[in-house]
Structure formats: structure tokens, C-alpha cells
Amino acid sequence: MNVLPDEQEIEVQQTVAQFLKTECTPALIRASELGYTGYSKELWDKFASLGWLTLCLPEDVGGQALPITYLGLLLEEVGRYIAPLPVHSTMVPALIIAKYGSPEQRALLKRVGAGDLIMSFAATGKSGVWSPDALSVKGRRDGDDMVLSGTSYFVDHFITSEKSLVAFRLLDEHTGREELAVVLVDTASKGITVEQLHPMAKDSECVVGFDGVRIPATNLVGPSGPFGQSGKSAGIINDLQNYAAVFLVSQMQGAARQAMESAVEYVNNREAFGQPIGAFQAIQHMAADMVNAVDGSQLLAREAIWRLSQGMPADAEVSQAKAFANEKCLMVCRSAQQMFGGLGFITECDINLWFRRVASWGLRCGTTYEHRARVASILLDRKGRVRLDAYLGSTSPAAA
């Protein structure tokens, strides 16, 4: 494994960076915060027209079929410029549909690649718990339909999206058994209610209610036959949560790196006592901790994404990356604010934009404690010799 990008990957990443540096200004970001939309349609249309949404989609739907490591690099730059774009919320379900979807569902990916279809995913339980066990949306079969009821929490870009990938519990009313399942939902379906939240990031996040929402059973993603398929559906949800968590790490560390570089530039030009404040040892130690944090977050995320791209077990690596980034990327942004002094703590200072987003993102797709618990479970909740690479990613770790 080589986590350093090759020549082609570097070229793609640099091209994305050049585009966003020009097009995604702090003024555009602040405008996207009005109404907590977290979205610029003009920027999205330009971004999609350059073909970047097709990088990791299959060739049969107009994609370039490149490894998902490219999406990680793309999101590093989206995070660096905190671009108000639903790339993360769209591409995570798109990858799941590419892997598990029916031919009819996969056909939607052509619209994703063209930027005509924005998607979201709903896989978070009450109080933000990031676990299949916390899913509170339930469904039952009714003829050729699924009927969904319940609530999904902290859904990014649901209002903006046309389709949402919803994880839920499918109830067999005859036996009382519940199975995990995933279904593609039209966000305009009758019976859906949306409560707009006001997160620190001032982006688009919602609580979505389902009250007898009828969805064609053909919209189920993956196994759609009789009961007893929960193992396969649990694998789909596990992949969904892994993709969501690790690609959010890519976005977080990109934002943290930009905050660090902005702060370093400031302390090298801000003078006190006749010299740049960057010459003071306390500032230098802080800067050293910051670069260790962003580099560590980047390497952990890239390793986990590479393992996912190879079809290898990656649960532990994903959770290591998210647990580390939640703490360290936030530390970087707080340190950047300190380097700016009192200026860094007022909303008019641009560094505040980066801090607020990283602070909010760290609470999504699994908190530090949830991911630590997951790693601990992989290490301890099985018999025999510990081997992280032997873990198969099931919801219940098997004996080694």
C-alpha cells in the first residue's frame, strides 16, 4: 500500500484545488449559510460540468471507473475550501447504489455524474447515535409497497436532494421479526416531514419524519426477497456507514489543513516585539502539533479508503481515522484561532468559517467515543489472537 498519490491523482487534486480556490470565495460560503442551505447551485453546476462527479462511478453509467481513492482526494479539496456543495451526501449513496443497486437504480447514476441528481442518506439514530442498532425508522410490506414510519436524524442535504438512501428496520408482521434494510426514497413522497436544523456549520441538516410513507418495494437496495437476508443488508449499511465516516474525515482534514496554513501565514507576517510572532517558541510548538494532526488524519483516512477500494476489511481503520480526526482536526482549528488572537474568535474573521465546520462535522457519522468503542470491540470482543485485518466487518465480530 502506498498512501501517497500518483502523478495522475496529484494532477486531478491540483485541478480541483485551482478551480475551488478561484470559484469558492469566503463571500460565496457566507452566502450559502443564509437560511442554512449549505448549497450553491451555481457552483454545483460548474463543479459537475467538469466531470468530477463521474470519477468513481462505473463506466456503464457514464463514469470513469477510477478507484474511490480519487473521491477521497476530491473531498480533501472540497473540505479545504469548505465548498457549499453536496458532494459527500451525494457520492456516498451513489457508491452504495453502484455496488448493490438494481439496473434501474444504477441508471440514476448517469444523472448523478451529470450533476442533475443530488442525493442524501439517512442512517443516523436518535441523539446522533451512529449504529444500525439505533435506527428508529421502521417499515412493513403492504402488497408491492414498503410503508415507512419513524424518524431519521441529522440528515445532510435532504432538502436539497431528490433521492435519499434510507436505512430502516423491516418488520415481518406475522413473526414480529425485524431485518435491516435499505431503500431509495423520493424526498417529495407524501407523508415525509422535514425539520430544518441549525448546526454550528450553518449548512443543510435536517430531522426527517416518515408517516406511512409508501415506497415501491423495487426501491429496496440489495436483497429484496424473503426474510433471512439481514446479513446481506447489514453489510450494505456497514459499507454505507464506512464510506460516510471515512470520506467525512477526508473533508475534515482538508479543512483543518487550510486553517493551519492560513494561521501559519498570519503568524509569519504579524509582528510583536520587533519580530514575527511565528518566531516565538510557543507558536512553533503549536504549529508542530497542528501539522502532526492534519498529516495523521490524512494518512489514516487514505489508508482506510485504500483498503475499502481493495475490498479488504477496513472497519477498524475507518474508525481509527474518524476517532483521531474528530479530536485532532478540531484541535488544529482551535489552535488556528488562537494564532489569530482575539480576531480569530469573531464571526467576521474567515478562520471562524473553518472552525465551525470542523466542529460540526466531528459530531456527524460517529463521535470519537463511538468509533473508539468500535475499535475496542474489534480488538477485544472475540477470542484468539488479535488481527485487525482478519475482521470481516460484520456487525458482530466473529472469533478469530
> Would you identify the CATH topology of the domain 7-118?
Butyryl-Coa Dehydrogenase, subunit A; domain 1 (1.10.540)
Give SS3 for 178. Answer: strand
Question: Are both 7-118 and 122-230 of the same fold?
Answer: no
Return the closest-CA partner of residue 252 out of 167, 324, 175, 306: 324
102-136 tens-digit pLDDT: 999 999 999 999 999 999 999 999 999 999 999 99
Cβ pair 66, 113 in contact under 8 A: no
217-238 tens-digit pLDDT: 999 998 654 444 545 788 999 9
List all residues 6 or more positions away from 188 whose beta carbon is below 8 Å from its beta carbon.
162
pTM of the model: 0.93
Q: What percent of the chain has pLDDT over 70?
A: 93
Banded model confidence at residue 160, pLDDT cuts 50, 70, 90: very high
Sign of CA dihedral 263, 269, 273, 278: positive
Cβ pair 219, 184 in contact under 8 A: yes
| Residue whose grid cell is 485487525 | 388
Banded model confidence at residue 140, pLDDT cuts 50, 70, 90: very high
320-379 tens-digit pLDDT: 999 999 999 999 999 999 999 998 999 899 999 999 999 999 999 999 999 999 999 988
According to the CATH classification, is domain 122-230 in 2.60.120.700? no
Return the closest-CA partner of residue 146 out of 209, 192, 215, 222: 215
Q: At what angle do helices 69-80 and 7-23 cross, to 10 degrees?
A: 30
Beta bridge partners of 207: 195
Beta bridge partners of 155: 206
> What are the domain boundaries of the chain?
7-118, 122-230, 232-390
What is the residue-averaged pLDDT of the chain? 92
Question: Based on the number of CB atoms within 10 Å of its own CB, is 245 exposed (0-12), middle (13-18) or buried (19 or more)?
Answer: buried
Cβ pair 72, 5 in contact under 8 A: no
Banded model confidence at residue 183, pLDDT cuts 50, 70, 90: very high
The CATH H-level (homologous superfamily) assignment of domain 232-390 is Butyryl-CoA Dehydrogenase, subunit A, domain 3 (1.20.140.10)
Residue count of the chain, please give it.
400
